Structure 1
Amino acid sequence: MPLPTVETETRPSPTWSVIWLHGLGADGNDFAPIVPELVDAAWPGVRFVFPHAPVRPVTVNNNAPMRAWYDIKGLAIADKQDAEGIRASIAEVEALIAREEERGVPASRIILAGFSQGGAMALSAGLRHRETLAGLMILSAYLPLHDTIEAERAGANHATPIFWGHGTADPIVPLVLGEQSRQALESLGHRIDWHSYPMAHQVSLDEIADVRAWLTERFANA
């Protein structure tokens, strides 16, 4: 059964879906309030799907249980990566994609999005998905399991557009980690629309405006 979700439909019978994954310790309600600020009246009907990650103990937070897509085992988030947890969450994202397809939205009209740990999962799942997705929207994140992505990525999403926004003063996911992930993917031929903003680990109004423009382009090119 797919994870529980918070959902918003911009009009009846939506023809597009945006599956938006939250960050560590948050839940599906975290980004739901952004929809009214983001949506353009000219867009087709869009279903925004904000899933709740499973609750699990997180090592760096004294094993406190919280919603997390995978464990963080080291003080530097890319250290000692929880490959088992990441792969389990990839399967959860696959189930969410499959449910949108069952509801009549093809993969070619599904955008995977995420913030922080959710963005890491959107990248991990999206690049491995076997059907071509409409796009990946990555906010303040990085690429986990980078050493296996070349072998495991799916040919269907080699050319999938990727929006990537990152704060220049991010203390949680350092800018350099995001840049290294971007460069690794560009070296494999992925096309990334990279944006940096004078902010910390957050989303800014300028970033929302850039996301709106990028989404508008995706909808227009279907």
Structure 2
Amino acid sequence: MSSARSRTYPEPLIFPSTATHTHTLIMLHGLGSNVVDFSTSFLSACTSSNHTLQQLFPGLKFVFPIAKKRRAVLYNRSLIKQWFDDYSLEDPTKRQELMYDGLRESASFVHGLIRSEQKLIGARNVVLGGLSQGCAMGLHALLSFERDGLAKTEETDPLGGFIGISGWLPLAHEISEEAWPAPVCEDQDFFANDKDPREIDTLEKRQMRAANFVRGIVELPALSSECNKSPCFARTLIFLGHGTSDDKVDIRLGEHAYRILERLEAPVTWKMYDFGHWWKEPEEIDDIVSFLQEKVGMLVM
């Protein structure tokens, strides 16, 4: 892994491909989840044709990482498996400082898993995803991911895709403010540097500001803006699904994540289901299969 802290995480639960390994799906569980139960439920989820993902994609390797136990302030500092400590989903802006340590450590861990699979099959064949807090952690890891140490003119391959179910984007408000700063005052000297800041802002710069804000939270060096190329997340195909009657993560939080990514012009697909806090079978599994097949380019057997 990319840091000593990553070694404190349990070993992921891995289900090898049943044919030649072509792709890997790294799927993060939700808050307090039992990874055995989570993986069993996900792998047994069926499409409308009564097929599982393993049956349809025999070249797909499944990696189910396991969060380490952390003190949960909201639950009287009980030790539970969580990717980061989250104080409130009713008001996500409350006590956000509690998230920082977990986001930093878990991002390092997830990035290490991505890079391990990237070495085997290439970044474009790695798909990241998660359910609930796993989706939230996955989005944060996606926004901060980049293959470091490249020349300024060298562009990195994006990940093959991202699958988010019933999740949200941590620090969404702050990311928005960073990507789209408040308008300048009317009496500001626009031409102090012979340039009007309202005219020189670009999509790539907004994307870079969003990525670098998240990288700053997880204590990664800022990406250079001199190459004028989009960060990895902006070129990764993203699927977000959410239940309209989700009583744990309000659909408004999921939609807010979608709107931010859409406004940053990331290639994101948003689907809503008449359902609660989980994936809906078979409709959502059908859509995930279509996403993997049509967007990621995986072959259905």
TM-score where L is the length of structure 2: 0.68
Instruction: Return the match for 2:43 from 15, 35, 46.
Output: 35
Q: Which has the higher contact order (CA 8 A, sep 6+)?
A: 2
Is 1:137 matched with 2:163?
A: yes
Instruction: Return the match for 1:215 from 267, 282, 292.
Output: 292
Instruction: Return the match for 2:139 from 106, 116, 123.
Output: 123
TM-score where L is the length of structure 1: 0.90
* Structure 1: stretches of 5+ with no match in the other structure: none
Report SS of the residue matched to 2:266.
coil
The residue that corresponds to 2:62 in the other structure is: 48
Is 1:194 matched with 2:270?
A: yes
Q: Does structure 1 retain, via aligned residues, the 8 Å contact 2:292–2:298?
A: no
When structure 1 is superposed on structure 2, of 35-44 and 170-179 the one drifting more is: 35-44
When structure 1 is superposed on structure 2, of 60-69 and 141-150 the one drifting more is: 141-150
Calculate the aligned-residue CA RMSD, in Å: 2.1
Is 1:60 matched with 2:137?
A: no
Q: Which has the larger radius of gyration?
A: 2
The 1-side partners of 2:37 and 2:265 are apart by 33
Q: Which amino acid aligns with 2:68?
A: P
The residue that corresponds to 1:171 in the other structure is: 247
The residue that corresponds to 2:202 in the other structure is: none
Deviations 1:141-178 (CA, angstroms, capped at 9, x unpaired) = 01112224742426123121110000101111101111
Q: Does structure 2 retain, via aligned residues, the 8 Å contact 1:8–1:32?
A: no
Report matched runs for 1:87-106 at 5 Å: 87-102=104-119, 104-106=120-122
Is 1:112 matched with 2:189?
A: no
The residue that corresponds to 1:69 in the other structure is: 83
1:27 CA displacement:
3.4
Report SS of the residue matched to 1:215.
helix
Report SS of the residue matched to 2:235.
coil
The 2-side partners of 1:167 and 1:214 are apart by 18
Report SS of the residue matched to 2:35.
coil
The 2-side partners of 1:65 and 1:129 are apart by 28
* Structure 2: stretches of 5+ with no match in the other structure: 2-6, 47-51, 147-155, 180-208, 212-229
Change (3 A) 1:42 1:179: closer
Report SS of the residue matched to 1:25.
coil
Is 1:24 matched with 2:31?
A: yes
The residue that corresponds to 2:193 in the other structure is: none
Q: Which amino acid aligns with 1:94?
A: H
Deviations 1:128-149 (CA, angstroms, capped at 9, x unpaired) = 2114100110000011122247
Q: Does structure 1 retain, via aligned residues, the 8 Å contact 2:57–2:298?
A: no
When structure 1 is superposed on structure 2, of 145-154 and 159-168 the one drifting more is: 145-154
1:221 CA displacement:
6.6
Report matched runs for 1:151-162 at 5 Å: 151-153=209-211, 155-162=231-238
The 2-side partners of 1:164 and 1:75 are apart by 18
The 2-side partners of 1:155 and 1:111 are apart by 17
When structure 1 is superposed on structure 2, of 75-84 and 112-121 the one drifting more is: 75-84
Q: Which amino acid aligns with 1:91?
A: S
